[in-house]
Structure 1
């Protein structure tokens, strides 16, 4: 790291600390020694190498700022525009941006390249600090909303998710959570309106994708759970290879909350004829998985059953 030390111009004595409120700042080649090398003797410093033309940088930097602010002074963020100040990035052999380095005691100790989701950024900072960050008020409200949804209290869940959106209009968990509340209330137009808050940069977020899948299922399925499946089941008994009816049964069972039953019917359809109607049963099952979420027990069990059929 001798090259980095060679950039010191007017550096403060080792151990000097940046002002307490100066958690996030822009640095130059000349200020790097003070802003990073010296400051990291007291507090870990994260350095974000970015450029104005870099799209992923525009996604990553706000997340870094949010997580650093959440740490409440336990870590600092220094941003370096490599177009204006390329020397430090060259010395660290940065080959692509965004590139992030964590410094402690004047030395780089960790880092990553590319834009990462907030959850991974938070783990990166927690590893740097050696402990978990305290949950923010928004995170607490999101947990309360999820708990209310699990308990069937849709009104309380909606209030919690809406409160988060008042502070952060682009919070994907709050957008998805509120949309699911409207879906559960069969207010699909309002659900669509809420999901419209998610712009292109959130399109690949798993919570948003799951809520969109749940909305599509709600629009394509019955408005109310089917109470009497006897006619459909009688058709299946007469013709087990009636795939269209079997998918109708699966959709009705899902609407009624019987995820395992819905899965089993779709698995049976795949077992009998996977290619039917361009793999319609498998497509429907994967849509269920996305709507239910990857951690749902029915999703995990269903994926095991699907793998067993596909690779048997």
Structure 2
């Protein structure tokens, strides 16, 4: 993979395409889908072992080149042969679709994907890797509600609230139909409430004073729970919501119970892989707080 600018465009793209297909990836650092398609193209360049040459062009920095190719959105991928563009696509296609695209233009003798000769590397399960996988899944299949939930949740847990709202926008109409989407909306509402509070510590102290003056000041307790949620003090927030539930389960259209469930949905980690036939263990904290909720609601 080569980064191309106006200075080396002629040699690295036009001249190079005279001897082998050149795949041009127009991207930008701020573009989320570009971060999905980029690694796929780099992997396929290795798999095709010389069948084509991959170059990347930053469309923000090289607007003259992007304009010459009529690039209107990114990622845009264009294939050149013999100095001329012959085909292209826009958006973050899955690997299989990109291979179908390449196979239409790469002669059978030019490139044969190499067979894997080493064991598959262990899955990277870090928060950053999970976020990237979910982003890829949503870009590949925007109708995948499970992937979208996980992607938005990962963004919220990473503190990227604005990005989470953008990712959530296409399914906001489903909030009343999909329980976990409702949970995401409630979490974002709590974050908005906290963001509108100039001094969170003072707001917590004020809520404490109001609660001390009246144990049934549920508005104060709920404000306190939202501030704690925004600070990622999950169990403290759920403890405060339980205080409301123990006194009035139906308060404000069951707002405390629904917000409590939203926290559980937000913090429950993905289930680890286990041997076939076994049931993966529950997260201890989530399991404990589910039992507490059941005990209070059913009492």
Q: Same fold (TM over 0.5)?
A: no
Answer 1 or 2: higher relative contact order, Cα 8 Å, separation at least 6: 2
Question: Normalising by the residue count of structure 1, what TM-score does the alignment of the two structures yield?
Answer: 0.42
Q: TM-score, normalised by structure 2?
A: 0.43
